[in-house]
Amino acid sequence: MGKLNVTVLRYLTKEDFRVLTAIEMGMKNHELVPGPLAAAIANLKSGGVHKLLKELCKHKLLAYERGKKYDGYRLTNTGYDYLALKSLTLRGSVSSFGNQIGIGKESNIYVVADEEGTPICLKLHRLGRTCFRNVKAKRDYHGRRHKASWLYLSRISATREFAYMSALYDRGFPVPKPIDFNRHCVLMDLVNGWPMTQVHELLDAPQVYDDLMNLIVRLGNSGVIHGDFNEFNLMVTDAGKPILIDFPQMMSTSHENAEFFFERDVNCVREMFRRKFGYESEDYPKFSDLVREDDLDAEVHCTGYGFTKEMEQDLLEEYGMVEQAEEQNEGEELEEEEEPPTLVTAAAKEIDECRRQVENEVIYSEAKPTQKSDDAVRRYIE
Ligand code: ADP
Ligand code: MG
């Protein structure tokens, strides 16, 4: 584990940024963005864009790939990291970058620092890259079937995490304080404690067991289930207080599989305490004990962060939450590769919309003096 894998960012110009953003916007509708479409979205001359695209590939921010039906460019992890980190530094949420401290199932975790030099936690969500997962193909607005892209999944994963963490933190739940998010990145307080996986002794195991069960019930009474309540997602302070992390897979107690996941969370705690601390209790909560006291689940959907029920479903499927609770439908249709998006077939409306988004990003990136933030990006790649 080391520094973030981002290289040679210091020579990135305004035009580079514009082209990189154009590829990001083009990827909302296409897996690969052909050069001419990139040029149209970036609103730059085709010849100039070609050179910029080549340079960005050389620096591994973009990759040029051959599809079955057509060739084009896609953002790499590094390119996407760059766009997110640039936004976060521009608005002053991050000012320097440190080392990796954790690797989760679906993320990489780093220590970074804010403008006061306080260490904070950066979580980069990385979803949808694994091919063993059986993600249901979706129909896009052209009616083509395709798998939800890693860009989209990573972004809604981070968005959901930030939304849930904010709602939980506001209600005084023991979770890290959320600071900011952009694209697939979430910034939060660094927890001053130990991952439960590394804890082999507790001063008062029955007390911590009760705290955890009470936490599950309090979440449930607020209308939510964590859904992955295990020792990888629990930290313990020196004072023996549990802190809960990792929220993208959270769901409403009104979800059709809510009872299954509630019981699984409860059983995780029972099993962990039996195995790690030799502690067993007949006292544990049931789904039917829950009493609705709050609508945290509904509130998260109204936060204006722009995620819908459909996005929630896509993400829960990606996290395998759907198959685990019920048999997967059989006879899925095969993925069809899209026809090459040419300037003629890509609707003028689509290009207009992408262009507008690129302009917004460019205006934003130039709005504030960028010396400080560019320095931060530079420092972090050196
Ligand atoms: P994933 O979704 O990939 O499982 P997690 O959010 O569970 O990611 O984080 C992975 C690991 O990173 C955790 O097990 C923990 O050790 C560490 N970690 C995550 N968030 C924090 C934080 N706010 N403070 C300190 N360590 C953290
Ligand atoms: Mg985790």
Angle of helix 348-367 versus helix 35-42 axis, rounded to 10: 60
What does the alpha-carbon distance between residue 276 and residue 264 come to, in Å, rounded to a whole number?
18
Q: What pLDDT was estimated at residue 373?
A: 53
Which mutation among 1, 159, 246 tests ligand 1's pocket best, with the greatest number of atoms within 8 A of CB?
A: 246
Task: Provide the mean pLDDT of the chain.
Answer: 84
What does the alpha-carbon distance between residue 125 and residue 338 come to, in Å, rounded to a whole number?
26
Annotated catalytic, 210? no
What does the alpha-carbon distance between residue 209 and residue 272 come to, in Å, rounded to a whole number?
10
Q: Tell me, using a 6 A CB cutoff, whether residue 233 lines ligand 1.
A: yes
Ligand 1 atom 8: the closest Cα is on which residue?
A: 104
Q: Tell me, using a 6 A CB cutoff, whether residue 105 lines ligand 1.
A: yes
Q: Tell me, using a 6 A CB cutoff, whether residue 190 lines ligand 1.
A: yes
CB 94 within 8 A of CB 113: yes
What does the alpha-carbon distance between residue 135 and residue 148 come to, in Å, rounded to a whole number?
8
What does the alpha-carbon distance between residue 216 and residue 228 come to, in Å, rounded to a whole number?
11
Which mutation among 105, 107, 245 tests ligand 1's pocket best, with the greatest number of atoms within 8 A of CB?
A: 245
Q: What is the ipTM of this complex?
A: 0.99
What does the alpha-carbon distance between residue 137 and residue 71 come to, in Å, rounded to a whole number?
21
To the nearest 10°, report the CA torsion of 29, 35, 39, 44: 160
Q: Tell me, using a 6 A CB cutoff, whether residue 193 lines ligand 1.
A: no
Instruction: Compute mean pLDDT per 10 residues along the chain, 382 residues long, and list them.
Output: 53 87 92 92 90 93 90 93 90 89 88 94 85 44 58 90 96 98 97 95 96 98 97 94 95 93 97 97 97 94 68 81 60 55 72 90 70 53 42
In the chain, DSSP finds a helix count (H) and a strand count (E) of 12, 14
* This prediction's pTM: 0.86
